[in-house]
Amino acid sequence: MSLTLAPADQQISRELDRAHVFHSWSAQAALNPLVIAGGCGSTVWDFEGNEYLDFSSQLVNTNIGHQHPAVITAIKEQADVLTTVAPAHANLTRGHAAQRILDRAGPSFSKVFFTNGGADANENAIRMARLFTGRDKVLSAYRSYHGATGAAIVATGDWRRVPNEYSRGHVHFFGPFTYRSEFWSASPEEESDRALHHLERVIQAEGAGSIAAILIETIPGTAGVIVPPPGYLAGVRAIADRYGIVLIFDEVMAGFGRTGGWFAFQSLAEDGEVALPDLITFAKGVNSGYVPAGGVIIPSMIAETFDDAVYPGGLTYSGHPLAMAAIVATLDAMEAEGIVANADRIGREKIALGLADLADRHPIIGDVRGLGVFWALDLVADRSTREPVPAAVIGKLKSAMLSQGLLPFFADNRLHVVPPCVVTEAEVDKAISIYDAAFAAL
């Protein structure tokens, strides 16, 4: 721990928070937030010195871990040179950041539009698709989360969309989910075929000529780490091509190492064939959230639309120098230290096996799915009916894990296992033992 601990600050932090901070997605009166005073790697701690293994990566974004020295140094050095600059100017650090992102996305892409985070990345991808096609509607999945701003929240499929439906032109469909199929499928292949048929019928029913974009999370994250079955991404690509629809992959949560590859669509290549989107949105892992940043990765065919026509969008902090320095340092460190390869290896050799062993011993675990450092356990009251466990059970599990020094990530009836990409074998072993004890205590 590099932080000087002052136990009195624990209570002060909580009191200031409760008095003055308004929290997202919460009923304010019921909150009792955990105080985080500092962190390093895969561990965080409070002012009293209690340590927690961070298997939430905060909001599945600290891919490079907490306080990576190379990234901290880069931010400090950039602050000495230029702390802020308007997006209308050229800036060396911004150029380097864009170049490094494009190097990892591949030669099909030529430009990066920088945003402040994932929600406004999706906002701008939707805007680009509408302007490029001259169409209005955007299709997205019911099991999805795309952000909390105007169009992004309406593109979102979960309950948070419903109180916020002020944006026009959004249509939802069911994506594939083998464990909880909407299509009465008996295999992953059948699930893929039926989900693709459903998507195409929605397009036909809505009028293909009215649809600007299909927006999907390459691997739906908050909705349950739902890895698409074989053939699905390629099938969506083919449908988009057939109807002249822009295909947007939301890689905000799944990108930059989380799946054991630079991007999830690359990790999901089948027989060496990659299903390429037209636009990619990103944020979170690109610099582990050290300074807010996100963006849209754009191919030439769309970027050139705005060579002579003004692109009607922008952000004051687009390509902020401190965020750009954090991106450059993060991607360089991930490359040099083999961090993406570590996420891939530890996912295959440790997390997958450890979670499968837990499922063998605990009937509450109905399904295990994921790759890299991106996993979910579907927790059920009954394996035969697949009935989700009630909220009270989740509350007990969360309390048990926190008491044993692990910071978990729960969403609905699921435990998401999402440590930083720098997680070690010993840390995975410790987390698995804490999960095991928490399940056993039920």
Residues 372-392 have pLDDT tens digits of 999 999 999 999 999 999 999
The whole-number pLDDT of residue 2 equals 52
**pTM greater than the 0.85 cutoff:** yes
Tell me whether strands 111-115 and 43-45 are parallel, antiparallel or unpaired: unpaired
**Residue 82 in contact with residue 437, Cβ under 8 Å?**
no
Strands (E), 333-405: 365-371, 374-382, 387-388
What is the average per-residue pLDDT within 276-295? 98
- Please state, in angstroms and as integers, the Cα–Cα distance from residue 385 to each residue in 180, 224, 259, 376, following that order: 10, 18, 30, 19
Given pLDDT bands bounded at 50, 70 and 90, which one contains residue 35? very high
Query: What CA–CA distance (Å, rounded) separates 43 from 54?
Result: 5
The whole-number pLDDT of residue 153 equals 98
Kindly report the backbone phi and psi dihedral angles of residue 234, in degrees, each rounded to the nearest multiple of 5, phi listed first: -65, -35
Query: 65's torsion region: left (phi>0), alpha (psi -120 to 50) or beta?
Result: left
Single-letter amino acid, residue 260: G
Percent of the chain with pLDDT over 70: 99
The whole-number pLDDT of residue 140 equals 98
Q: Is the pLDDT score of 1 beyond 70?
A: no
Single-letter amino acid, residue 52: Y
**Residue 249 in contact with residue 220, Cβ under 8 Å?**
no
Query: What is the dihedral sign for C-alpha 413, 418, 419, 423?
Result: positive
At residue 407, the 3 state secondary structure works out as strand
- Give residues with Cβ within 8 angstroms of 23, minimum separation 6: 31, 33
Query: What CA–CA distance (Å, rounded) separates 277 from 403?
Result: 43
Tell me whether strands 387-388 and 279-282 are parallel, antiparallel or unpaired: unpaired
Crossing angle between the packed helical segments 391-403 and 425-441, to the nearest 10 degrees: 130
Of 61, 124, 438, which Cα lies nearest the Cα of 279? Answer: 124
**Token pair recorded at residue 36:** 């985080």
**Residue 339 in contact with residue 347, Cβ under 8 Å?**
no
What is the average per-residue pLDDT within 130-136? 98
Query: What CA–CA distance (Å, rounded) separates 246 from 132?
Result: 9
Query: What CA–CA distance (Å, rounded) separates 55 from 391?
Result: 20
**Token pair recorded at residue 134:** 């001259």
Percent of the chain with pLDDT over 90: 98
**Residue 173 in contact with residue 198, Cβ under 8 Å?**
yes
Query: What CA–CA distance (Å, rounded) separates 31 from 363?
Result: 31
Q: Is the pLDDT score of 144 beyond 60?
A: yes
Q: 361-370: per-residue pLDDT in tens?
A: 999 999 999 9
| Sheet of strand 294-298: strand arrangement | 111-115, 294-298, 279-282, 246-250, 211-217, 137-141, 170-173
Q: Is 369 exposed, middle or buried (0-12, 13-18, 19+ CB in 10 A)?
A: buried
Q: 42-64: per-residue pLDDT in tens?
A: 999 999 999 999 999 999 999 99
Kindly report the backbone phi and psi dihedral angles of residue 35, in degrees, each rounded to the nearest multiple of 5, phi listed first: -85, 125
What is the average per-residue pLDDT within 65-81? 98
**Residue 175 in contact with residue 228, Cβ under 8 Å?**
yes
- What does the DSSP assignment read for 178-193? GGG-SS--SSHHHHHH
The whole-number pLDDT of residue 355 equals 98
Given pLDDT bands bounded at 50, 70 and 90, which one contains residue 6? confident
> ∠ CA 366-371-372 to the nearest 5 degrees?
135
CB atoms within 10 A of CB 169: 18
The whole-number pLDDT of residue 8 equals 92
Given pLDDT bands bounded at 50, 70 and 90, which one contains residue 3? low
What is the average per-residue pLDDT within 259-266? 98
Query: Buried b vs exposed e over 121-148: b needs ≥16 C-beta within 10 Å?
Result: bbbbbbbbbbbbbebebbbbbbbbbbbe
The secondary structure of residue 229, as a DSSP letter, is P
- Give residues with Cβ within 8 angstroms of 209, minimum separation 6: 135
- Give residues with Cβ within 8 angstroms of 334, minimum separation 6: 63, 64, 256, 257, 340, 421
What is the average per-residue pLDDT within 59-78? 98
Mean pLDDT lowest among 4-13, 115-124, 214-223: 4-13
The whole-number pLDDT of residue 283 equals 98
The whole-number pLDDT of residue 5 equals 79
**Average pLDDT of the chain?**
97
The whole-number pLDDT of residue 31 equals 92
The whole-number pLDDT of residue 219 equals 98
